[in-house]
Amino acid sequence: MQAVQLLVSFDPELYGIIFLSIRVSTAAVLISFIIGVPIGVLIAMNRFPGKVLLVNVVNTFMGVPPVVIGLTVYVLLSNQMGLFGDLRLLFTPTAMLIAQVLLAAPIITGLTIVAVQGVDKHIRHTAVSLGATPGQLAWTIVREARYGIGASVIVAFGRLMAEVGAVMMVGGNIRFQTRVMTTAIALHKGMGEFQNALALGMILLLISFIINSGVDFLRRGRGLES
C-alpha cells in the first residue's frame, strides 16, 4: 500500500529515477537502431568470406554478460588507465549510455539478420526480375522484415530497462545523477526500504507488460499479413 502511495504522491526523487532510466535506455536503443539495422541488413543480404564467423561473433555479443560490458567501458573511461579517461565520462549518464549501446546494438543487429533472412526468397527474386536497384531491393526486404526488426528494438529496450550490472559499474548509482530503477531497487533492498523498492518494481513490471504487449502486437500484425 505504501508503495502505491509513493507512486501517486509523485515523489520528485522517485520519478527522477524513473525518467532517467527511460531517457537513457530510449537514447541507447535509438542509437543502437541506427547502428544495428543497417549492419544487420548488409550482413543478411550479402555473401562474403567470413560471413558465418561474423554472424557468430554478433550472436556471441548478444549474450555477453552485462558486467563484462560494464568492466570494458569502465576500463576505457577510467581516469587512471583508460584510453578516454581525459573525457571524464565515468560515473555519468553518458557512460551508462555507452554501456547500454554496447549491450543493445548486437541484439538489434542479430535479430535484424534473422528477420531479413526470414523474408521469402520469392520476394527478392521478384524485385530483381522487375529491375529493382540494390537500394530498392534493400528497402523492399526491410519493409517485409519490419515486424521482426521492430521486435528486435522492443526486445533490446526490455533488456536495457532490466539491466543493473553494467550501469551500476559505470554509473556508480549516484543519487540525483546516475541512479536508475534497477540500481535503486538494489540499493533500497539493501537498506531495508522495501516500499521504495516495490514502487520501482511495480513500474518495471508495467514497462515489461508494455514491452511484451508490443512484441505480441507485432507478432499478430505479421500473422495478419501472412
Could you read off the pLDDT of 35-44 as tens digits, one per residue? 999 999 999 9
In a domain, 135, yes or no: yes
Does residue 224 carry a pLDDT above 60? no
Domain count, the chain: 1
Single-letter amino acid, residue 184: A
- Per mean pLDDT, which of 8-12, 27-31, 125-129, 149-153 is the most reliable? 27-31
Q: Indicate whether 80 belongs to any domain.
A: yes
What phi and psi values does residue 181 have, to the nearest 5 degrees?
Answer: -60, -45
Q: Which pLDDT does position 20 carry in this prediction?
A: 94
Cell numbers given for 138: 534493400
Query: Using CA atoms, how far apart are residues 182 and 158, in angstroms rounded to an integer?
Result: 12
Query: What pTM, to 2 d.p., does this model score?
Result: 0.90
Is there a domain that residue 222 lies in? no
Instruction: Tell me which amino acid residue 21 is.
Output: S
Q: Report residue 161 as a C-alpha cell.
A: 530497462
- Find the domain containing 96 and state its range: 24-179
Quick check: is 100 in a domain? Answer: yes
Residue 74 covered by a domain: yes
pLDDT of res. 223: 59
Q: Quick check: 54 and 43 in contact, CB under 8 A?
A: yes
**Rounded average pLDDT over 101-118:** 95
> Residue 33 falls within a domain, yes or no?
yes
CATH of residue 107: 1.10.3720.10
Residue type, 182: T
Mean pLDDT, range 165-178, rounded to an integer: 91
Any domain includes 57 = yes
163: its cell numbers: 539491466
Are 174 and 183 in contact, with CB atoms under 8 Å apart?
A: no
For residues 1-5, average pLDDT: 67
Query: Phi and psi of 81, rounded to 5°?
Result: -130, 0
Tell me if 194 is assigned to some domain.
no
